[in-house]
Amino acid sequence: MANKETFSIPTISCGHCTMSIQNELGELPGVSRVVGDVEAKTVTVEWDEPASREKILETLKEINYPAA
């Protein structure tokens, strides 16, 4: 059963931001889908083990797009 969560990312300002986030999170083992929404400033992530909510939040912080 995949996990799915939408994270609020206040620092998203353009399509390039969402592409960066999608690329970085997409490289995490277990992450199956990443969809960014510039207007809503959100990223929806679907994942299974070994990915985790903590790992996703940690990665967002590392790439300077911390979740709110």
pLDDT of residue 40: 97
- What does the pLDDT look like over 6-62, one tens digit per residue? 999 999 999 999 999 999 999 999 999 999 999 999 999 999 999 999 999 999 999
Nearest Cα neighbor of 7 from 58, 40, 39, 42 is 42
Class of domain 3-62: alpha beta
Which residues, in sequence order, are CB contacts of 15 under 8 Å at separation 6+? Answer: 38
